[in-house]
Amino acid sequence: MYNMLIVELNRRSVSSTRAALDWGLLGFSIDNETDVDSALALLASKPYSLVLINMVGMPEEGLALCSRIRVNSRVPILLIGDGTNFGLARKAMQYQVSDYLPAPLCLNDLSASLQLIRRKLDADKSVAWEMKPPEPASVIDKVKEYATKALSQNITLKEISSILHFNCSYLGQKFKYEENMTFNEYLLKQRMERAKALLESTDLKIYEIANEVGYSEMDWFYKKFKSYTGVSANEYRKMRSITA
């Protein structure tokens, strides 16, 4: 559904355009209906897919509004103007309006015009989506990926920061904000979870598992593992083998 702004230059015709069609069936939603004084402010406050300007009886004001809109926006404009003034239609095209419909308004013409505009909007959206670049991986995702690949090494956030060309202090704060834990806490968790998996699924010696997860000192690994799981590595392996 495309949102649209209706601008009624002649206040006596307010709501007449809104009541003309079932806009939703044509893929449009009337987001606002306003006069010329508020139109530019509304356009500046939010994006619209279409602006319909009913300038019957007030052609100069309508063209002036088109000119002011085109200063900052390429939003599609559909004009409703005096049917006998063909010179007005030619002037309107100078502002690259999508269509100019003469009054009295033919509802079939209005419907056909809206369908054409919608097809153009659909096509533009498809092109924009195809051309949209893939979302780059966040720097925190890169930190986590690097940590996972280097789990068996003595990796530090300082080293990763240098590789990624980031300030270490900034990266540490950003990591804690996004992950709700420090980098060292995250690294410990990954190492302990990996150690648990190896204890459960392999016959590797405890010292081999310790090396696999970045610990060269066995006492330090034993201490960290028991603190993390509540049991020693040997006890954990026995427990898992019993329950398997």
Please report, for the domain that includes residue 235, its CATH number: 1.10.10.60
Give the end of a domain, one of 80, 98, 131. Answer: 131
> Are 118 and 152 in a shared domain?
no
Give the end of a domain, one of 103, 131, 159. Answer: 131
Look at 32-36, 85-89, 176-180, 212-216 and tell me which has the smallest mean pLDDT.
85-89
| Residue ranges making up the domain that contains 152 | 139-243
> Are 97 and 159 in a shared domain?
no
How many CB atoms are located within 10 Å of the residue 156 CB? 15
> Are 152 and 236 in a shared domain?
yes
Give the end of a domain, one of 79, 98, 131. Answer: 131
Over range 89-116, report the average pLDDT.
87
| Strand ranges of the sheet holding 2-8, from the earlier edge strand across to the other edge | 28-34, 2-8, 50-54, 77-82, 99-103
> Are 144 and 126 in a shared domain?
no
Mean pLDDT (the chain, rounded): 86
Share of the chain above pLDDT 90, in %: 42
Please report, for the domain that includes residue 77, its CATH number: 3.40.50.2300
What is the distance between the alpha carbons of residues 130 and 136, in angstroms, rounded to a whole number? 16
Tokens of 104: 């009295």
> Are 45 and 97 in a shared domain?
yes
In the chain, the amino acid numbered 29 is S
For the chain, how far is it from start to end, CA to CA, in angstroms? Answer: 55
> Are 101 and 148 in a shared domain?
no
> Are 126 and 6 in a shared domain?
yes
Tokens of 11: 């206040």
Our count of domains for the chain comes to 2
What are the CA-CA distances from residue 28 to residues 3, 24, 109, 128, 162 (Å)? Answer: 6, 5, 16, 20, 51
Is the pTM of the predicted complex or chain greater than 0.85?
no
> Are 105 and 164 in a shared domain?
no
> Are 60 and 169 in a shared domain?
no
Between residues 135 and 201, which one has the greater pLDDT?
201
> Are 59 and 125 in a shared domain?
yes
What is the distance between the alpha carbons of residues 34 and 36, in angstroms, rounded to a whole number? 7
pLDDT at 182: 94
pLDDT at 164 over 70: yes
> Are 85 and 181 in a shared domain?
no
Contact 164, 140 (CB under 8 A): no
> Are 143 and 126 in a shared domain?
no
Do the strands 77-82 and 50-54 form a parallel or antiparallel pair, or are they unpaired? parallel
